[in-house]
Structure 1
Amino acid sequence: MTIIVTGGDGYIGWPAALRIATRTDDRVLAVDNFARRDWVEEVGSVSAVPVGWMDERIEAAEEVHGVTNLSFVQGDLAEKSFVEELLTVHEPDVIVHAAAQPSAPYSQINGERANYTQHNNMQATRNLLWGLEEHDLNDTHFIETTTTGVYGAPEFPIPEGGAVMENQGERDDVPFPAMAGSWYHLTKSHDAANMRLAHSQFDIPISDVRTAITYGTETEETRGDDRLKTRFDFDYYFGTVGHRFAAQAVAGYPVTVYGKGEQRKPFISLEDAVEGLAELALADPDDRPDDLTVYNQVTRAISIVEIAETIADVGDEFELDVDVEHFENPRDEDETHKMEIENDRYMDLIGEQAQDFEGGVRDIFGTLTQYDDTIEAHEDRFLPGVLEE
């Protein structure tokens, strides 16, 4: 069996490929074009954690974990010719598609970046789906990390997948409407729709894994050697809220909460996100769903103010003097929105939560305090700035 992990150089893609490879003797092929490194450099930032190139990482995986079935190929999934060659040569049984331009702020900078984000993300997914059909690989399990951002912020509890629509006394199950709030998030709404169409037309088994905001620096496998670490972005464009707050604390900045900060967002640890992808990738073909299945890859919703206060509390353990400051909110948003999101299907997949947010923050500080010089050298990237054209 062959398992392809796209975005194999990325924050989630690399540790996912590593975990899958440690749990099977089947071939695992990581695919990436290293574009994430270029995007972060473009906005004037850098990963706080130094990340090796793939040959170095794969060598370390063999030395530390005895992995001999993990390999890498560089290429651009938005180029149909590359996807054609990839599928012809490797004929995958499973594809874990974690490759994308993942930043909402980056996609909002201007029309050029919005166009790039939508073309890059949707073209890659379409190339893979159509490639499976055109290469008679319709039994390949296609697993994509989309995002909980496709749901927006509805007032009702978010279902794990579709919704029920009623009109004139008749009811039917329908796909959840695209309520995304950025040009990036909308790419994943389109991907979800295209995957549903591909399943309907091509009968490809599909798992739509709607990934929440992910926190943490480590998984069980990456702890073994510095060469196995995954990237950690902390800038305004590519750093998620929890990661930015933690980096601000390490740099001696106050953690800034806009308004009340009581709105809740969906979160999951890197450890728990990787576990679900590995479970899906290694599922016995006879046991996995043949249908299109949606998983809300989230363990719980956390408020922005709780994130800030947890970072301040854990910071004390690392002798960091962390202040939490509230500022007038420049955004038009409900500062008290209590998101509720169903996740029974995903929790059944992973069994139980392996790392809570407090534990994730301890990991983050344990890592970032080793690289405080890197963060302080780029502290001007906590806020948006003038970008290179």
Structure 2
Amino acid sequence: MGILLTGADGYIGWPTAVRLASRTDERLILVDNFARRDWVKSVGATSATPVEPMSDRLAALRDELGARNVSFVEGDLTESSFVDRLIRVHEPETIVHTAAQPSAPYSQVSREQANDTQHNNMQATRNLLWSLEEHGLQETHFIETTTTGVYGAPEFPIPEGGATMEHGGERDEVPFPAMAGSWYHLTKAHDAANMRLAHEQFDIPVSDVRTAITYGVETTETAADPRLATRFDFDYYFGVVAHRFCAQAVAGYPLTVYGRGEQRKPFIALEDAVEGLVRLALADPAERPADHTVYNQVTRAISIVEMAETIAGVGTELGLDTAVEHVENPRSEDETHKMEIENDRYEALIDGQSTTFETGVRSILERLLEHDEVITANEDRFLPSVLSEG
């Protein structure tokens, strides 16, 4: 019994594991196959912050937090036999599923990356859900980080999960249609549909946490010891736009905005994303969702150009030579789209507490200045080849 956390070596998974270890004495089983490290390496990129071996990370949990309730299992969730054994042996009361190939650009590289992404992400989720059913664990709370990217970019405010559809004079509440714009985002749309089906057929309580673009270099807990640091990718494939801009500022490189950059995207600080997952995982059994519930885990929608200008401003205050530069957009997107997204359910979950973008950016820049040599040595990874070679 206890909590099973998948993707424990990942950017969000690891700090979630650390916070859980700091707040509960429940048994905590961490699972990963270290694929994220291999994917990043395959595109010639690296984390700006050192990512320690799992053995060192676990030692730091014991040293800094006194955690004695944590164990780690290495394995591939796409393998049915591994997942069956994992669920049968540990019988978790809660699963926090953060394991996935998380990069839209990586999933777009070729047929091979698209196929690998879809197989990896969807097979893992299906294996976990079916194993819960087959081992009689239908009361296990299944929490997954999907993505706000499943919504696409509609012209109306995005609801928190469902929508009202009217046709032929009749109305009904229906799941929001999958409007994903990449092979990666489509995996999460399929996961959302599969989780809904698992709830309907198996009666498994599901929390579909549609996490926005997540930025940040640390949480309160991971800052306590360098061995507890999570990864920080800043390349075109695995580094989200806020991370790429921050790394460019540290390297004295122009902050490259694709096209006009006036489109708004949903964002959330790592600190806040972790908090939402931890609160769901540690909810009192009597208060845990028994239904299928969608949370839009987002605190704010920000335009790309506003983000760049904010980072440039903070960088200037820290003595960095920063400038914003507009370049040709390698993506097909509306560069002026003004996204609106509802998040009342998520705001209630975290009691309306959230990190301001400027505060989060300042923390990133201050920490990245300690690793500026790694960034400058890899500045060729900032842009896709179609732009860097132009």
Same fold (TM > 0.5): yes
The correspondence of residues 173-212 of structure 1 with structure 2, limited to 5 A, is 173-212=173-212
Structure 1's unaligned 5+ residue stretches are: none
The correspondence of residues 84-123 of structure 1 with structure 2, limited to 5 A, is 84-123=84-123
- State the shift of 1:305 in Å: 0.7
| Contact 1:121–1:187 (8 Å) recurs in 2 | yes
In the other structure, the counterpart of 2:294 is 294
Q: Distance in 1 between matches of 2:273 and 2:330?
A: 31
**Amino acid of the structure 1 residue aligned with 2:72:** F
Q: Distance in 2 between matches of 1:105 and 1:235?
A: 11
Q: Is the counterpart of residue 256 in structure 1 residue 231 in structure 2? A: no
In the other structure, the counterpart of 2:219 is 219
In the other structure, the counterpart of 1:44 is 44
| Deviation per residue, 1:157-187 (Å, 9 max, x gap) | 0000101110011000000000000000000
Aligned length: 386
Residues 232 and 330 of structure 1: CA distance in aligned 2, closer, same or farther (over 3 Å): closer
- State the shift of 1:331 in Å: 3.6
- State the shift of 1:378 in Å: 1.1
In the other structure, the counterpart of 1:307 is 307
| Deviation per residue, 1:88-131 (Å, 9 max, x gap) | 11110000000000000000001011000000000000000000
Q: Distance in 1 between matches of 2:295 and 2:89?
A: 30
In the other structure, the counterpart of 2:317 is 317
**Amino acid of the structure 2 residue aligned with 1:137:** L
What secondary structure sits across from 1:172 in the alignment?
Answer: strand
Q: Distance in 2 between matches of 1:330 and 1:119?
A: 26
Q: CA RMSD in A?
A: 1.1
| Contact 1:27–1:69 (8 Å) recurs in 2 | yes
Q: Is the counterpart of residue 241 in structure 1 residue 250 in structure 2? A: no
What secondary structure sits across from 2:29 in the alignment?
Answer: strand
What secondary structure sits across from 1:339 in the alignment?
Answer: coil
| Contact 1:299–1:353 (8 Å) recurs in 2 | no
- State the shift of 1:254 in Å: 0.2
In the other structure, the counterpart of 1:364 is 364
In the other structure, the counterpart of 1:278 is 278
Q: Distance in 1 between matches of 2:259 and 2:233?
A: 24
What secondary structure sits across from 2:257 in the alignment?
Answer: strand
Report percent identity of matched pairs: 73
What secondary structure sits across from 2:38 in the alignment?
Answer: helix
Q: Calculate the TM-score normalised by the size of structure 1.
A: 0.97
Q: Distance in 1 between matches of 2:283 and 2:248?
A: 40
In the other structure, the counterpart of 2:329 is 329
What secondary structure sits across from 1:129 in the alignment?
Answer: helix
**Amino acid of the structure 2 residue aligned with 1:33:** N
Q: Distance in 1 between matches of 2:151 and 2:260?
A: 23
| Deviation per residue, 1:43-77 (Å, 9 max, x gap) | 00111100111111111111112211122111000
Residues 330 and 57 of structure 1: CA distance in aligned 2, closer, same or farther (over 3 Å): closer
| Contact 1:147–1:212 (8 Å) recurs in 2 | yes
| Deviation per residue, 1:263-309 (Å, 9 max, x gap) | 10000000000000000000112111211000000001000011100
Q: Distance in 2 between matches of 1:330 and 1:45?
A: 19
Q: Calculate the TM-score normalised by the size of structure 2.
A: 0.97
Residues 40 and 331 of structure 1: CA distance in aligned 2, closer, same or farther (over 3 Å): closer
